[in-house]
């Protein structure tokens, strides 16, 4: 008997180490392999393909009624709609979601750094994943920059140009401070240029970044920074890979949402964080925009539904209720047209506009733009941009950029329950306050508005 006990104890002790190595939950892993790291980047349901929406509420794409205003279920929406000084209560997804993307990208970059490929195939795959991670990080920083930092050319505010806290490692305890604004954009461009080196030309899944997406994003960033030559170069590179357009003559307007995801224009899929106003039928398109479309312009039917008491926007490239904030050929073409016009290549600029608009008008009703030049041509390009890219999360960046150009400034006005609210051009209220939890926990400097 004692012998048996002895044997039992020896067996137990010697097998202990292995016995306790078993993973407690089959669904839980320490992400280490290339598949596991890629899976982190594919986490769209966690927000990898989402971008801020608070600036869309503040932008002039959108209006609502008093009933619509009180119907906002989130106080952030009310604050943003009337450009209040305070926006967020404690947390704000508009801030934390991009930082979550940055966190995931940094985990992946660190994981790849520790990963030793066993063969050339793996090494190539590793590079592609690295390119994707860099793209996600740059995309997130750009989205944060348009909300939470000033435009670099806004000279009205004499404060130092504050950038974003730049997190480049997954260490959550690393102390952080806000970088300079110029450094922030340098980082965005460096990451995107790094991504270009590794990414495949086109996407396999539209939620994954490609070289085409990195070029399109570089074009967007440089346009915002008013580097028109660079923006043009990258627009050319993106369209060089694929410049197909969706002919709106073939879009069915009988269904509620006009588009679906089988859309050749989509370069990279991204959607706007959902707020309650997304699904309210009292959320209307600014009637000024609705009036801009000429007869024969299919967008008037494809984008909108006139409900009698207001116009709803239903032309999302997501195919559903969510606003599309990814990259698409129509945006790249409009970037290109604007850059060409600004750089004096007016004929080419008009050509580019005509290529796009030909697919937007009813067959036979579009004659093409001719005989436009100079200031009025720039106005026309900007007007086309406004008509094409509404509810795409682009307007806020455009407002900030154009406000820095004399003659192109815009003053925004709103009336809620009889009170008029005004947003002056270059107002500090174009920069959203950072959510209080960030200020309280990391002590970084708040934006003054």
Partner 1 sequence: MYSKQFIKYSLICILLFLSIQQLKAQSTYSVTGKVNTENQEAVPGAMVILKGSSRGVVTDEEGVFELNLPSGDIVLRVSYLGYATVEKTISVPISEPIQIYLKEEGFSMEAFEIVSTGYEELPKERATGSFAQVDNELLNRRISTNLLDRLEDVTPGLVFNRTGGGDPISIRGRSTISANANPLIVIDNFPYDGPLESINPNDVESITVLRDAAAASIWGARAGNGVIVITTKKGQAATKPKFSFNTNTNFIEAPDLFYAPRMEISDFIGVERTLFDRGFYQSREVSIDRQTLSPGVELMIQLRDGIISQGEYDERLAALQSIDTRSELNRHFYQPQINQQHSASLSGGTATHQYVVSLGYDQNRASIVGNKNDRITLSTQNTWNLANDRLTLNLGVYYAQRNNVETTKLPDLFPYDRLADEAGNALPVIQGLSKRYIQGLDNPFLLDWTFVPIEEIGMRNDRQQNTDLRANMALQYKVSKDLKLDLQYQYWQNAANNKEIVSQETFEVRDLINRFTQVEPDGQLSRAIPIGAIYNKSDIFAKSHTVRAQLTYNKKIGKHQVSALGGGELKDWTSNTDRIRYYGYSERFANSENVDYFTRFRTFHNNRLANIPYGGGHSGSIDRFVSAFANASYTYDKKYIFSASARNDASNLFGVRANQRAVPLWSTGLAWILSEEGFYSWVAVPYLKLRGTYGFSGNIDRTVTAFTTASAMQGNFNPVSRLPYAQVLNPPNENLRWEQIQMTNFGLDFESKSGRLSGSFEYYIKNGVDLFGTIPMAPSSGVLTYRGNFASSKTQGLDMIIRGKIVQRAIRWDASLIYNHVRDRVTGYETQASVSNYLAFAGGSDLIFPFEGRPLFSVYSYPWGGLNPDNGNPMGMLDGEPSDNYTAIFNEATPESIIFNGSARPTSVGTVSNNFSYKGFSLSANITYRFGHVFRRSSILYNSLFNGDLGHEDFGNRWRNPGDELSTQVPSMPLGLNANRDNMYRYSEILVERGDHIRLQDVRVSYLFDEIKGFNRLELYAFVNNLGLLWKHTDLPIDPDFRTMRPLKSFAFGVRIDL
Touching partner 1, residues 56-115 (CB under 8 A): 66-68, 70-71, 73, 75, 86, 89-92, 95-96, 99-100, 102-104, 106-107
Tell me whether residue 20 or residue 120 sits nearer to partner 1 (CB atom): 20
Report if residue 284 touches partner 1, rule: CB under 8 A: no
Distance of CA 162 to the CA centre of its chain: 21
The dihedral region occupied by 378, where left means phi > 0, alpha psi between -120 and 50, and beta the remainder, is alpha
Report if residue 25 touches partner 1, rule: CB under 8 A: yes
Stretch that binds partner 1, among 11-19, 118-126, 188-196, 333-341 (CB under 8 A): 11-19
| Residue from 317, 296, 291, 321 nearest 306 by CA | 291
Handedness of CA 67, 72, 78, 81 (dihedral sign): negative
Question: In the range 187-206, which residues lie near partner 1 by CB under 8 A?
Answer: 205-206
CB of 262 to partner 1, least distance (A): 10
- Contact pick of 8, 159, 182, 229 for partner 1 (by CB under 8 A): 8
Report if residue 215 touches partner 1, rule: CB under 8 A: no
Q: How many CA atoms lie within 13 A of 6 on its CB side?
A: 3
Report if residue 294 touches partner 1, rule: CB under 8 A: no
Tell me whether residue 99 or residue 228 sits nearer to partner 1 (CB atom): 99
**Residue 448 DSSP symbol:** P
CB of 340 closer than 8 Å to CB of 331: no
CB of 100 to partner 1, least distance (A): 6
β-strand partners of 283: 64
Tell me whether residue 173 or residue 371 sits nearer to partner 1 (CB atom): 173
**Residue 45 DSSP symbol:** G
Report if residue 118 touches partner 1, rule: CB under 8 A: no
DSSP strand pairing (178-180 vs 162-165): antiparallel
CB of 347 to partner 1, least distance (A): 39
Report if residue 19 touches partner 1, rule: CB under 8 A: yes
- Contact pick of 3, 158, 295, 309 for partner 1 (by CB under 8 A): 309
Tell me whether residue 176 or residue 363 sits nearer to partner 1 (CB atom): 176
Judged by CB under 8 A, how many residues of this single chain contact partner 1? 84
- Contact pick of 122, 153, 193, 207 for partner 1 (by CB under 8 A): 207
Going through 232-346 in order, the beta strands assigned E by DSSP cover 266-268, 271-272, 283-285, 304-306, 311-313, 327-328
The Cα–Cα gap between 275 and 176 comes to 29
Q: 324 phi and psi, to 5 degrees?
A: -80, 125
Tokens encoding 77: 């929406």
Tell me whether residue 245 or residue 416 sits nearer to partner 1 (CB atom): 416
What 3-state class would DSSP assign to 143?
helix
Tell me whether residue 294 or residue 321 sits nearer to partner 1 (CB atom): 321
Question: In the range 242-261, which residues lie near partner 1 by CB under 8 A?
Answer: 255-257, 260-261
Q: How far from 430 is each of 52, 112, 157, CA to CA, in Å?
A: 14, 38, 11
Tell me whether residue 8 or residue 160 sits nearer to partner 1 (CB atom): 8
The Cα–Cα gap between 347 and 345 comes to 6
Tell me whether residue 159 or residue 255 sits nearer to partner 1 (CB atom): 255
Stretch that binds partner 1, among 126-134, 275-283, 339-347, 397-405 (CB under 8 A): 275-283
Stretch that binds partner 1, among 189-197, 243-251, 342-350, 430-438 (CB under 8 A): 430-438
- Report CA dihedral (417, 292, 226, 264) to the nearest 10 degrees: 110
Q: Which helix (H) or strand (E) segment is 352 a member of?
A: helix 346-358
Going through 82-196 in order, the beta strands assigned E by DSSP cover 162-165, 178-180
The Cα–Cα gap between 146 and 81 comes to 17
Stretch that binds partner 1, among 13-21, 189-197, 242-250, 294-302 (CB under 8 A): 13-21
Per-residue contact track with partner 1, 315 to 334, x per CB under 8 A? ----xxx-------------
Report if residue 20 touches partner 1, rule: CB under 8 A: yes
Per-residue contact track with partner 1, 28 to 47, x per CB under 8 A? xxxx----x--xx-xxxxx-
Tell me whether residue 203 or residue 361 sits nearer to partner 1 (CB atom): 203
| Residue from 212, 222, 218, 168 nearest 193 by CA | 218
Helical residues (DSSP H) of 200-274, grouped into ranges: 211-224, 228-241
Stretch that binds partner 1, among 131-139, 171-179, 331-339, 352-360 (CB under 8 A): 171-179
Report if residue 442 touches partner 1, rule: CB under 8 A: yes
- Contact pick of 120, 173, 250, 371 for partner 1 (by CB under 8 A): 173
Report if residue 296 touches partner 1, rule: CB under 8 A: no
């Amino acid at each position: 008997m004692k012998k048996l006990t002895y044997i039992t104890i020896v067996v137990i002790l010697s097998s202990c180490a292995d016995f306790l190595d078993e993973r407690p939950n089959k669904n839980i892993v320490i992400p280490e392999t290339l598949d596991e790291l890629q899976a982190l980047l594919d986490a769209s349901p966690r927000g990898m393909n989402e971008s801020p929406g608070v600036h869309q509420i503040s932008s002039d794409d959108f209006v609502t009624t008093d009933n619509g205003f009180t119907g906002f279920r989130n106080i952030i929406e009310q604050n943003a709609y009337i450009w209040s000084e305070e926006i967020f209560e404690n947390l704000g997804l508009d801030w934390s979601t991009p930082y979550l993307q940055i966190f995931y990208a940094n985990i992946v970059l660190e994981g790849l750094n520790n990963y030793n490929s066993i063969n050339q195939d793996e090494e190539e795959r590793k590079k592609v994943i690295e390119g994707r991670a860099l793209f996600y990080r740059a995309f997130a920083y750009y989205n944060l920059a348009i909300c939470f930092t000033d435009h670099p050319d806004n000279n009205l505010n004499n404060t130092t140009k504050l950038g974003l806290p730049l997190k480049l490692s997954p260490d959550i305890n690393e102390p952080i401070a806000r970088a300079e604004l110029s450094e922030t954009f340098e980082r965005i461009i460096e990451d995107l240029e790094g991504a270009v080196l590794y990414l495949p030309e086109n996407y396999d899944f539209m939620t994954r970044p490609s070289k085409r997406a990195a070029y399109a994003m570089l074009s967007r960033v440089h346009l915002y920074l008013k580097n028109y030559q660079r923006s043009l170069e990258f627009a050319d590179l993106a369209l060089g890979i694929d410049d197909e357009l969706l002919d709106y003559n073939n879009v069915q307007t009988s269904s509620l949402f006009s588009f679906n995801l089988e859309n050749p224009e989509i370069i990279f899929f991204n959607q706007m964080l959902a707020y309650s106003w997304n699904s309210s039928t009292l959320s209307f398109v600014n009637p000024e925009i609705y009036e801009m479309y000429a007869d024969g312009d299919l967008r008037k039917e494809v984008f909108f539904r006139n409900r009698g008491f207001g116009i709803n926007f239903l032309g999302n490239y997501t195919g559903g209720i969510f606003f599309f904030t990814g990259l698409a050929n129509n945006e790249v073409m409009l970037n290109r047209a604007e850059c060409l016009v600004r750089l004096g290549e007016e004929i080419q600029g008009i050509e580019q506009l005509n290529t796009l608009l030909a697919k937007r008008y009813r067959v036979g009703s579009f004659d093409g733009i001719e005989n436009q030049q100079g200031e009025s041509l720039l106005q026309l390009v900007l007007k086309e941009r406004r008509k094409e890219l509404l509810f795409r999360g682009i307007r806020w960046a455009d407002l900030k950029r154009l406000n820095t150009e004399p003659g192109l400034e815009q003053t925004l006005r709103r009336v809620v329950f009889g009170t008029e609210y005004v947003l002056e051009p270059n107002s500090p209220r174009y920069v959203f306050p950072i959510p209080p939890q960030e200020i309280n926990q990391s002590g970084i400097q708040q934006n003054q508005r």
